[in-house]
Structure 1
Amino acid sequence: MASTFSYEPLPARSIRVIKLSPALHAEDPLECSIRTVSLGRTKVESYEALSYVWGEPTRQWPMDCDGTQLLVTKNCHEALLNLRRRFAPRVLWIDAICINQGDDAEATKERNAQVKMIGEVYLKARRVLIWLGPGDASTSILFRYLPIFGILERISDDHPRLESVLYPLVAQHFDINYGVLVKHKRTQLLESMAAILKNPWFERVWTIQEVAFGRKCVIVRGQSNVDWDSFCRAYMAQPKLRESSRSAGDIILHRWRLYQSLRGSSLEVIPPTRFKGAEQVEFELGLLAEIRNMKATIPHDKIYSLYSVFQAMGISLPEPDYGKDVVKVFEEVTLAYIRSRQSLGIITLIPPAEGSSGLPSWVPNWLSSGRNNSLLIWKIADFNAKHLPITPLLTGNVGDGKLGVMGKRIGTISKRICCPLIGNSGLTKDEAYQEFLTACLDWRDLIDSITTYPSGKDLRDVERILLRPYHMNVAKSALRPWFRWATHGNDILPSVDDAALDCIMEKRKARGNFVIFVLDTGYVGTAHHSCQVTDQVSVLASLNPLILRPQSRPREFRVVTPAYCEGAMDGSVNPRPEELEEFVLV
C-alpha cells in the first residue's frame, strides 16, 4: 500500500501546481506530480487554475501523487477525470490539492499566506477553468450556440444599421425570441441552461474572486466548454435565459454584474474608468451586501474570499488569520473599510444582528442570509445623497466592539403609527380593513395636529412623500380613493368593496414591515418596524438618518435601522461644530 502524501513547507511567494498525467482510457487511475512555482519571477511557468465547488468534504477518492496516495473529494476527482488529456500532461492549480488543508498550526499558517495570494494565482494563470460538473448531449449544443449572442450584441452596439440587415438572416436559422437556440430543441436546451444556472458554483463566495482575476475564463461541463464572456453575454442579452434561473432568485443577475465589473482587473488597482462619480463606492457596498447570501464552508471566507478584490480596490484589509474569531474578523474588516473610504455606509448594508450573535450592531452580520437593506428606505424621495461633511469621522473611542462617531440628534421617537399595510399576516379581509382604517385615521389625526413643520416644508408634500411607498401605482389600484381621502382631508369615507379589500391584503404583504414615526422635535419619518418609542433618530458623519437605541451607559447606542426622516435627509441638516456630539455605537 502506497504511503500517504505529505506537504513540505512552501518558500515565500510560492505556490504548488500539479502535473496531471495523460491517460488513453477514462478508467485509468489518476496520476500526478506536484512541484513548486515561484510567483515572484518575471516569467511564471504556465498553468491553468481550477474554479469549482468542493462539494462533499470527505476525501476518499485516491490518486497517485509522486508514488504516494493523495485523497481528494468526489467533485475534484470527477473534474480531474474530465480535464485529463489523452496524450499530453496538464499543469493545474487546484486549491484543495495545492494548499495544505490540514488543521494543524503549520497548515493554518500556510493557508493564511496562500489566501493573500489567491488573486495573483488566478491572475497569472493561463486560463481559469470553471468546472460545472458532468454534461449531456444538450450541453454541447447549447455551448455551440451561446457565442452567437455576443455577435448580435456587438452588431447592435457598433453597427445598428448592419444589425437590421443581418438580424433577419440569422433569425431564419435561430429562434431569436427564445435565446438563439435551435427551434426543435428549444425546450431541451433551456432546461440545460436552467440546470447550469442552478449549479452550486454560482452560490459560492470564492467564485467572485476566481473569475474576477482570470485573464481568460472557460466554463467546462463534461467534455463541452464555452468561454466565459460568451456565456455572460448570452445570459445578460436574452431575458428568456434569465427566466430559466428565476428559481435561484435575483442574486444571479446581480452576480453577473459583479463579474462583469471585475473582469480583467489587475492586482494593483481597478481602473478608475470602470466607475463614474460615486459608482465605485456603490459597487463596493453592493458587493459587500451581496456576500451575505453566498455560501462559504468556513465563516472567515465570507471576507477572505474577497481579500484580493478589495486589495485591487485600494482597500487595505487585515491579513487573513483563520485562527482568529470570526466576530473579530468581521469587526476588523468593517473598521478597515470605514477608515479607507472615510464613510460609514457599510454599517447600513445588513439589518443589525441580534445581541445574541456576539456582533456589535455596527458590524454587518455576513453569516445571516436574507434580503439586504440596500439603503432602500433612504430612496423614498429619489434624492441624490449628499452626506454630512462632519470632521472627524471617528473619535478616539474605537475598539473592543465600540465605534465612536460624530453626529447630531434629530429627535426621539414619541409615537409610532402602524402603516395601513402592516399587521398579522393571518388577518381576515375584514380585520385587515379595520387595521387599515385605524392607521388611516391615526395618520389623519397626526397631520391635522401639525401646524408647521420644522424644515418649513408644506405639510401636504410631507404626507405625500411618506405615504408614497405604501401606495405604489396607486393611480391604477383600488386604493386610489383611500389615498386621496388620507391626503386631502375629505370627510366622506370611501366605500369599500371586494376589489379594495383584495388590494389591501395584497399591499399589506408587500409593505408590511414599516411604520411611520413622530419625533419629539416635530419631525416625521418612516422606518422598519423594529424601531420603538424612545429610540433616537440621529444623523452621523457620512450618513443619512439612523435610528439608534440608547444603552445603559451614557452616549452608547445600538444601531436599529436606517430611517427616512423628512427634512433631515440629503445633507439638509448641516450642524455647526458646537452642535455635534459623540455617539458610541456598540
Structure 2
Amino acid sequence: MLHKPLDSKRDEIRLVTILPGECDDEISCTISHVSLLDSPQYMALSYCWGDARKTEDIYLNNQVFPATANLKAALLRLRNSEFATWWIDAICIDQKNLEEKREQLPLIGSIYRKAIATVAWLGEESRVSHLAFSLIERLWQEERQLSVEKEATRETNDGVFRSRNPPLVPVGERDAVAALLELLLRPYWKRELASSHAVKILCGGHRTDWSALTVALQRLKNSYSVRVTRHNAFSHVLNIQRFRRDATSNRPLHFVDAIARSQASLATEAHDRLFALINLCYNGKEFIPVPDYNQEIEELCCEITMAAITSFKSLDVIVFLGSSTISYRGPAWQPQWLYSTPRWATLPDKRRLDYLLGKRKLWESCTTKSPASSYSVTKRWNASQDSRPSLQLSGSVLSVKGFIVDSIFQLTSSLDGRPGGCSAEFSRHNETKLRPYQARNATPSSNREITDRIFKLFFDMGAS
C-alpha cells in the first residue's frame, strides 16, 4: 500500500525523497510521513500535470507508480540537485481518495508557504528558450546595477539621487521578446505560486528566479505597452504576481476577486480551480464552507452565487457578471465562475467588478469647466438604496420579489464589439460625429480638449 493513512490531527503530509541516479537509470523515490507542526525541511514542485492518460512508470518505495510524462521529465532534472526531499501533489496526495484530498486541501497554502522554495517546472526547453532566459538575466542584471548605483549615490551625496529610468528593451531584442512571450504561453503558470516563500523557474536546463522574471515583464510592459499587456499569457503571469503581492502584504482578497483573476487557471479538475482559492481569500470559507469533491460542479457554482448575493447584499452579482455567449450547463442567471468570458476581461466589466467589491462609489460626478460647454453629469447606480433582496431558490429557478417599474419594449445588441448589430451602428455614428472635429482641428491642444470632445460626442449621440 503506497499511501498509508495520514494523521489529520497532526497536519501530517507526505514527502518524497528522489534517489540519485545516472541518466539512464529509472526514477526511484521513497515516501514518508511528516507533520507540518515539526517544521520539516523540503522543497515544493509546481508543474502542469499534462495528459493524465499518458503515464510513464517510476518507482515509489520499490513499487511501480504511474507518473505523467511531464512529472517524470521534472524528476529526471531534479534527482541530482542539491535538494532531495520534495512535496509533489500527484505523489504526496492519494488522488483516488476524495476524503484525503478534502482533508489535505486546507493545508495546501501552508505546504507552499513552509517550503524552502517552490520550483516551477515549465517543461523541457524549446529551440528558442535560451533567448528568453538570456533576456531575463540581462534585464535582471541591469535592474540590480541600477539599485547599486542608487545606494552608492545615496551614501556619498547625503541621500541626493537623480534617478535614471531603466532603459527600454531594444528593438533588436525582438526575437528574445517573442521567445519570452512563447515561454509565458506554456500550459503552466499556476496560482499556488502566490503562497510560496520563494519561487525558482526551471525550464529544461535553464533556471531563473521569480523576481528576475517579474522585472523582465515590467520592463517589457514599459517598452512595448499595449502590445504585450494585451497578450493573455502576459496578463495571467502578472495576475499571479498580484496574488503574491497581496499574500506577502497581508492584503485582504475577496473570493469573487480571486475568481476573476483566475479565469485562465489550468487546474486539472473543475473543483480544484475553485477549492484552490479558499486559502488565498479572507472569506473563502463563506463561499465554500466544506470542500466536497462528490458535489456536482453545477450545484457548487449555484451555492457560490447564492453566497455572493449574501456577501454583496444585492443581486448585482447576477446583473454584472451573469450571462455569456459561451455554452454553460448552469442556469442563465448564474455567473460563469469556471469560464474565461468577456464578462471578466473588458475594462467596463472590471469596473463592474470594482463596484461589486466596493472599490467604486455608488455615484460619480463629472463636471467640465470648459467655457464653451459647461455641464454636469451624475450617475446613480443604487435605486434600491439599502433594501435587501427577497428571493427563494428552488432547483435551478431563482424567484425574487420587487416592484414593477416599467416594461421593456425592445432589446438591441450590446456595445461589446461583437460583429454587426449596435456596435457597427455605433462605429458609423462615431465616424460621422468625429468628422467635423477632424476637419476643423486634427490635433487637440490639450488633454482637457480631448475630454471635452469625447463628452460632446456622446451627448450629441444621445440627443440625436
TM-score, normalised relative to structure 2: 0.72
State the shift of 1:339 in Å.
2.6
Structure 1, residues 114-148: CA drift from partner, whole Å, max 9, x if none?
22322221111111111111235435533432423
Identify if the C-alpha distance between structure 1 residues 304 and 413 changes in structure 2 by more than 3 Å, giving closer, same or farther.
Answer: same
- State the structure with more CA Rg: 1
Partners of 1:357 and 1:419 in 2: CA distance: 20
**1:328 pairs with 2:328:** no
| Higher relative contact order, structure no. (Cα contacts within 8 Å, ≥ 6 residues apart) | 1
**1:233 pairs with 2:204:** no
Identify if the C-alpha distance between structure 1 residues 80 and 242 changes in structure 2 by more than 3 Å, giving closer, same or farther.
Answer: farther
Q: What is aligned with 1:222?
A: 204
Identify if the C-alpha distance between structure 1 residues 265 and 422 changes in structure 2 by more than 3 Å, giving closer, same or farther.
Answer: closer
Q: What is aligned with 2:348?
A: 376
Q: What is aligned with 2:185?
A: 198
Matched-pair contact (CA < 8 Å) for 1:214–1:264:
no
Which of the numbers 229, 246, 250 marks the counterpart of 1:270? 250
Q: What is aligned with 1:480?
A: 434
**1:32 pairs with 2:29:** yes
Number of equivalenced pairs: 406
Structure 1, residues 31-55: CA drift from partner, whole Å, max 9, x if none?
111011222x1x4101111111111
**1:177 pairs with 2:178:** no
Identify if the C-alpha distance between structure 1 residues 222 and 363 changes in structure 2 by more than 3 Å, giving closer, same or farther.
Answer: same
Q: What is aligned with 1:521?
A: none
Structure 1, residues 297-340: CA drift from partner, whole Å, max 9, x if none?
32223311212112477755232111111011111122223334
Q: What is aligned with 2:4?
A: 8
**1:119 pairs with 2:109:** yes
AA of the residue aligned to 1:252: A
Partners of 1:51 and 1:378 in 2: CA distance: 29
State the shift of 1:228 in Å.
0.8
Matched-pair contact (CA < 8 Å) for 2:136–2:216:
no
**1:21 pairs with 2:11:** no
Partners of 2:34 and 2:318 in 1: CA distance: 41
Structure 1, residues 340-380: CA drift from partner, whole Å, max 9, x if none?
44454433454426898442333212344332256827979
Structure 1, residues 236-285: CA drift from partner, whole Å, max 9, x if none?
23238867985x95433443443233216569x9335xxxxxxx66xx54
- Once the two structures are superposed, the pairs formed by residues 444-523 of structure 1 within 5 Å of their partners are 470=426, 474=430, 477=431, 479-480=433-434
Partners of 1:74 and 1:199 in 2: CA distance: 15
**1:305 pairs with 2:276:** yes
Which of the numbers 309, 322, 341 marks the counterpart of 1:338? 309
Q: What is aligned with 1:465?
A: none
Matched-pair contact (CA < 8 Å) for 1:311–1:317:
no
Say which SS state the counterpart of residue 260 (structure 2) adopts: helix
AA of the residue aligned to 1:231: L
Higher helix proportion (structure 1 or 2): 2
State the shift of 1:59 in Å.
5.0
Which of the numbers 125, 138, 142 marks the counterpart of 2:135? 142
Identify if the C-alpha distance between structure 1 residues 157 and 112 changes in structure 2 by more than 3 Å, giving closer, same or farther.
Answer: farther
Say which SS state the counterpart of residue 17 (structure 2) adopts: strand
AA of the residue aligned to 1:17: L
Q: What is aligned with 1:576?
A: none
Q: What is aligned with 1:352?
A: 323
Partners of 1:342 and 1:85 in 2: CA distance: 55
Structure 1, residues 422-449: CA drift from partner, whole Å, max 9, x if none?
9974x9xxxx9xx95xxxxxxxxxxxxx
Q: What is aligned with 1:260?
A: 241
AA of the residue aligned to 1:99: I
- More deviation, 394-403/371-380: 371-380
Identify if the C-alpha distance between structure 1 residues 423 and 396 changes in structure 2 by more than 3 Å, giving closer, same or farther.
Answer: closer
CA RMSD in angstroms comes to 4.4
Matched-pair contact (CA < 8 Å) for 1:127–1:218:
yes
What's the % identity of the aligned pairs?
22
- More deviation, 63-72/313-322: 313-322
Say which SS state the counterpart of residue 329 (structure 1) adopts: helix
**1:385 pairs with 2:362:** yes
Identify if the C-alpha distance between structure 1 residues 294 and 355 changes in structure 2 by more than 3 Å, giving closer, same or farther.
Answer: closer
Identify if the C-alpha distance between structure 1 residues 46 and 245 changes in structure 2 by more than 3 Å, giving closer, same or farther.
Answer: farther
Partners of 2:214 and 2:204 in 1: CA distance: 19
AA of the residue aligned to 1:271: R
TM-score, normalised relative to structure 1: 0.58
Identify if the C-alpha distance between structure 1 residues 122 and 359 changes in structure 2 by more than 3 Å, giving closer, same or farther.
Answer: same
Matched-pair contact (CA < 8 Å) for 1:191–1:244:
no
Identify if the C-alpha distance between structure 1 residues 375 and 350 changes in structure 2 by more than 3 Å, giving closer, same or farther.
Answer: farther
Q: What is aligned with 2:163?
A: 163
Say which SS state the counterpart of residue 9 (structure 1) adopts: coil
Which of the numbers 70, 77, 82 marks the counterpart of 1:82? 77
Matched-pair contact (CA < 8 Å) for 1:55–1:74:
yes
Matched-pair contact (CA < 8 Å) for 1:270–1:312:
no
AA of the residue aligned to 2:290: E
State the shift of 1:7 in Å.
1.7
- Once the two structures are superposed, the pairs formed by residues 398-417 of structure 1 within 5 Å of their partners are 398=393, 400-403=395-398, 408-416=403-411
Identify if the C-alpha distance between structure 1 residues 420 and 144 changes in structure 2 by more than 3 Å, giving closer, same or farther.
Answer: closer
The answer for unaligned runs of 5 or more in structure 1 is 273-279, 437-469, 485-525, 527-564, 567-586
Identify if the C-alpha distance between structure 1 residues 77 and 161 changes in structure 2 by more than 3 Å, giving closer, same or farther.
Answer: same
Partners of 1:342 and 1:139 in 2: CA distance: 47
Say which SS state the counterpart of residue 342 (structure 2) adopts: coil
Identify if the C-alpha distance between structure 1 residues 317 and 193 changes in structure 2 by more than 3 Å, giving closer, same or farther.
Answer: same
The answer for unaligned runs of 5 or more in structure 2 is 155-159, 364-380, 439-460
AA of the residue aligned to 2:141: I
Partners of 2:414 and 2:322 in 1: CA distance: 20
